Amino acid sequence: MRIVNPTAQKGENIACEFLKKKGYKIIERNFRKGYGEIDIIAIKDKTLVFVEVKTRTSNAYGTPFEAISYFKLKSLVKTAQFYKVLNPRLPDSLRIDAISVLLDKSKDTTNVEHMENVSS
């Protein structure tokens, strides 16, 4: 059974709303397979976009983006490729993005940043 971190869940909800406002269509959340997990899967402009969301309440241990390691990116790529095999009717163009959500102590959003194509 997966234990849900409320801060991470809030960050993913904020990221989904952020993406929707930018014209993305969310098609799945928290896709899990043996290789790893993808927080958000969306489509924008005929591109299938896999999004890693990192949420923090401070930068004391680095920015949220700094928490995405080389190994995490490799896992995201493998999981995205597997997802595409399972869903061949979805767009062929793939991209991996990252969203950083920094919350203040009251858990209100202080900053949301979106980096596109982080795996290249």
Please state, as a whole number, how many other Cβ atoms lie within 10 Å of the Cβ of residue 38: 23
Average pLDDT score over the chain: 91
Rg of the chain over CA atoms, in angstroms? 14
Q: What percent of the chain has pLDDT over 70?
A: 95
Closest CA relative to residue 56, chosen from 117, 116, 110: 110
Token pair for 23: 């014209």
Query: What is the C-alpha separation between 71 and 69, in angstroms, rounded?
Result: 5
Query: What is the C-alpha separation between 70 and 60, in angstroms, rounded?
Result: 21
- Whole-model pTM: value is 0.91
Query: What is the C-alpha separation between 35 and 55, in angstroms, rounded?
Result: 21
> What's the pLDDT at 35?
75
Beta strands 109-115; 93-103: pairing state: antiparallel
Place of tokens 């959500």: 101
Token pair for 99: 């969203």
Q: Which of these CATH numbers, 3.40.1280.10, 3.65.10.10, 3.40.1350.10, 3.40.50.720, describes 6-115?
A: 3.40.1350.10
Residue 62, amino acid: G
Asked if the model's pLDDT at residue 106 lies above 90, the reply is: no
Domain assignments of the chain as residue spans, ordered by start: 6-115
